[in-house]
Amino acid sequence: MEILLKPWPWYIAGPLLALTMFLLIMLGKRFGMSSNLRTLCTLCGAGRHSDFFKFDWKSQRWNLVVVAGVVLGGFIGSNLLSSDTSVAINPNTVVKLQALGFESAGTTYLPKELFDVEVFSDVKGIILLILGGLFVGFGARYAGGCTSGHAISGLSNLQLPSLIAVIGFFIGGLFTVHVLFTLIF
Amino acid sequence: MRTLAYFLIGLFFGIVLFKSEAASWFRIYEMFQFDAFHMYGIIGSAITIGVIGIQLIKRFNIKSFFGERIDFAPKEKGIRRYLFGGILFGLGWALAGACPGPIFTLLGAGFFPILVVLLSAVLGTYLYGLLKDKLPH
């Protein structure tokens, strides 16, 4: 039990993510989280404005059920399966983050500067969260998948388009962290 | 019955994302700084096992739990949509520190500002739907 409550090492988590993908494959489905964002658009009536959202959302109901499970999984992981949720990142990373003004680095699960409820009164923090979300949603659909659909499912099936997408993920991510962060923070 | 199976798979996935810290903004930052092997180990081991498993399913023509044939539809060919879309996704991934799976995990874990990220991601998807025909694919 003690070991379950500590953070899980990569060599446990990676195989368990592969298991998640295989369970869905064996149920005749495919592992991909970002398609749910499209389904949510359709549920909100986006089909009136673009044919991209005109599809039978019921065919994707199973994936919305998966997502509902993911939400409860986050609750259980955080509240029942963790004695301490601080993330022990590399001490060098902590130094870099503190230099950028992230005082909470190394002591919390997410940076307080962006994910404490106080962010709702911080214009800059809210704008960054909005921009992050917009790019994630737009980019995932433009690329036809996200980390689960391209990086894990696509690369597991040796798909060249997925490799290109993942290279893109890294170009974007490296640019944000190494260029944008030095300008914004 | 099937619905329960999907829910339990999601539950399992959500716990793994939280407990592996793949849903932590800090781990994503650390990954893009190349300061730790953790995230590369998670993604790399998942893909390694994934490649082997999918090859086995194809070679031995393994059927689904319901006895149906398993088809792996190849991704559409192309470069631009994957590269441009991928870069935009990566910009957001590092900024919000969460990709679509972890967004839902963090919502359950009680980090309410992630709702802003989720709603913006839905809006971003909607904007893509509006602009789709004007973008290079």
CB atoms within 10 A of CB B63: 13
- CB atoms A14 and B74 under 8 Å: no
- Chain B residue closest in CA terms to A77: B15
- pLDDT confidence bin for A2, thresholds 50/70/90: confident
Interface check B113 vs A, CB under 8 A: yes
The pLDDT tens digits for A55-90 are 999 999 999 999 999 999 999 999 999 999 999 999
Using CA atoms, how far apart are residues A162 and A143, in angstroms rounded to an integer?
9
- Chain B residue closest in CA terms to A155: B47
- If you average pLDDT over residues B2-21, what whole number do you get? 98
Q: Would you state the pLDDT for residue B96?
A: 98
**Cβ contacts of B59 on chain A, cutoff 8 Å:** none
The pLDDT tens digits for B58-93 are 999 999 999 999 999 999 999 999 999 999 999 999
Kindly state the helix (H) or strand (E) to which residue A66 belongs, with its residue range: helix A61-79
- Mean residue pLDDT of chain B comes to 97
3-class SS string, A99-110: HCCCCCCCCCCC
Nearest in space to A149 (alpha carbons), one of A137, A166, A130, A133: A166
Percent of chain B scored above 70 by pLDDT? 100
- pLDDT confidence bin for B1, thresholds 50/70/90: confident
Describe the crossing of helices A160-175 and B25-32 by its angle, rounded to 10 degrees: 100
Residue A105 has pLDDT above 90, yes or no: yes
CB atoms within 10 A of CB B35: 16
- CB atoms A152 and B7 under 8 Å: no
Nearest in space to B52 (alpha carbons), one of A101, A100, A19: A19
ipTM: 0.97
Q: Would you state the pLDDT for residue B70?
A: 96
Residue B113 has pLDDT above 90, yes or no: yes
- CB atoms A173 and B90 under 8 Å: yes
**Cβ contacts of A132 on chain B, cutoff 8 Å:** 92-93, 95-98, 117, 120
Interface check B116 vs A, CB under 8 A: yes
From B76, B87, B99, residue closest to A136, measured CB to CB: B99
Q: Are A136 and A146 in contact (CB under 8 A)?
A: yes
Chains A–B, number of C-beta pairs less than 8 Å apart: 492
Using CA atoms, how far apart are residues B1 and B7, in angstroms rounded to an integer?
10
- pLDDT confidence bin for A1, thresholds 50/70/90: confident
Whole-structure pTM over 0.90, yes or no?
Answer: yes
**Diameter over CA atoms, chain A:** 52
Interface check B33 vs A, CB under 8 A: yes
Q: Which of residues 68-97 of B touch A (CB under 8 A)?
A: 68, 70, 72, 74-79, 81-97
